[in-house]
Amino acid sequence: YIDATAKTEGVYQLNVQVSIANQSVELIAISPPSVLVNIEKNVSQSVSVEMVYDGAPKENYSVADFNLTPKTIVAKASPSTFKKIAKHAIVVNLSDASANFSKIYSIKAFDSANNIVPNVVYEPKEISADITIGKSSNIKTVGIKPIFTDEIASGYSVQAVTVVPSTIAISGPATEIASISYIETNPISLSNKNADFNIDINIKMPSGVLVVDSIKQVEVAVKIGLLSNEKIISTNKFMVENLNGKYQLESTLPSAILIKITGASELLAQVNNNDINVNLNLSLVNTSQKYDVAIKPNDIKLPEGITLITYSPSVVSVNVTEK
């Protein structure tokens, strides 16, 4: 144990002390001999109490209504502990329930992963819950919405998200589920992500609402790709194809075309007009004159990783002369 008597707020290196009741036991060493302790002053907050279900009612039954007394209590903990808390709740066991019941429950603090957060004191320590169980009539199918936090790696973006299952059936008091169109997941961190990933994540059920098929987790597949952008470039780099050796390209009208392209921002920033070739198929030229030549998408040659969106004009007038 450590002795923090008379210590106030601050960080202390305190010696570890050992008390041995058995006189025949000899203390040889203590490891570690001391520990770093951060002492914070407890603060009080008025918080709302939620209800978390454990198990499911008997088949064809669901929670029709519930009442918590009191609904708001006072929680005391250190500021760093409060930062870890996602909800203050009671855990109600509904296993095979088919009739109304009332019970006194202790309040617990939970983090975003539904782990219990210790060192929280509540006033009062317990509340009463009156649970009304009825035939399952208030059942609704809703979607599941993944919640993302933190910044993705620079130059990348989320390309697609898939959730399995994508919907769930919920039940509960009509007043509670009427406004629910989706259930959120616990936060999924994108911090420095630069590749696809899958994660099993808990869903965040509203207080008083039950998942009919007892699903607690969903699988979220996230597709990560390079951040795309768009760019318009004017190019006059025409490349002649299939022109009879007797002739030469004298000029084009217009002298350049506008090309709209897309690609990863890092790649796109490096592309200039010299990187883009426009092939002109002059196989039909058999005399010195002006010709209208159609430009097809596959006539425009782009750097690897760059995609063509559109271009203008799609027809250019070429002036061909004999050499």
Amino acid occupying residue 299: D
Tell me, yes or no, whether 233 and 216 share the same domain: no
In a domain, 4, yes or no: no
Assess whether the previous peptide bond of 124 is cis (omega < 30° from 0): yes
Strands 126-135 and 101-106, sheet pairing: antiparallel
In a domain, 5, yes or no: no
Tell me, yes or no, whether 69 and 103 share the same domain: yes
pLDDT of 191 reads: 93
pLDDT of 116 reads: 93
pLDDT at 201 over 90: yes
Tell me, yes or no, whether 145 and 217 share the same domain: yes
SS3 168: strand
Tell me, yes or no, whether 48 and 131 share the same domain: yes
Q: Which residue has the tokens 């570890």?
A: 16
Tell me, yes or no, whether 157 and 71 share the same domain: no
Strands 289-294 and 315-322, sheet pairing: antiparallel
In a domain, 78, yes or no: yes
What is this structure's pTM? Answer: 0.49
Q: What is the CATH number of the domain that holds 49?
A: 2.170.120.40
Tell me, yes or no, whether 186 and 150 share the same domain: yes
In a domain, 284, yes or no: yes
Residues present in the chain in total = 323
Tell me, yes or no, whether 34 and 92 share the same domain: no
Tell me, yes or no, whether 153 and 126 share the same domain: no
Question: CB of 18 within 8 A of CB of 30?
Answer: yes
The pair of structure tokens assigned to 276 is 């883009």
| Count: domains in the chain | 4
pLDDT at 233 over 90: yes
pLDDT of 66 reads: 86
In a domain, 204, yes or no: yes
pLDDT at 196 over 70: yes
pLDDT at 137 over 70: no
The mean per-residue pLDDT over the stretch 282-290 comes to 89
The pair of structure tokens assigned to 104 is 């006194």
In a domain, 193, yes or no: yes
Please give the angle made by the CA atoms of 308, 310 and 314, to the nearest 5 degrees: 120
In a domain, 3, yes or no: no
- pLDDT bucket at 43, cuts 50 / 70 / 90: very high
SS3 83: helix
Rounded percentage of the chain residues whose pLDDT exceeds 70: 99
Tell me, yes or no, whether 153 and 211 share the same domain: yes
pLDDT of 269 reads: 86
pLDDT in tens, 90-109: 999 988 888 999 999 999 99
Please, what's the b/e burial string for 114-149 (b: 16 or more CB within 10 A of its CB; e: otherwise)? eeebeebebeeeebebebebbebebebeeebebeee
The pair of structure tokens assigned to 72 is 């708001």
Question: CB of 66 within 8 A of CB of 51?
Answer: yes
The pair of structure tokens assigned to 81 is 């502990």
Tell me, yes or no, whether 50 and 102 share the same domain: yes
Tell me, yes or no, whether 114 and 58 share the same domain: yes
Strand partners, 132: 65
Tell me, yes or no, whether 143 and 218 share the same domain: yes
Task: Tell me the residue range of the domain where 202 lies.
Answer: 139-226
- pLDDT bucket at 182, cuts 50 / 70 / 90: very high
pLDDT of 253 reads: 93
Distance CA 165, CA 214 (A): 13
Strand partners, 231: 261
> Quick one: which of 210, 206, 172, 254 has its CA closest to 50?
206
Distance CA 189, CA 147 (A): 9
Q: Whole-number mean pLDDT of the chain?
A: 90
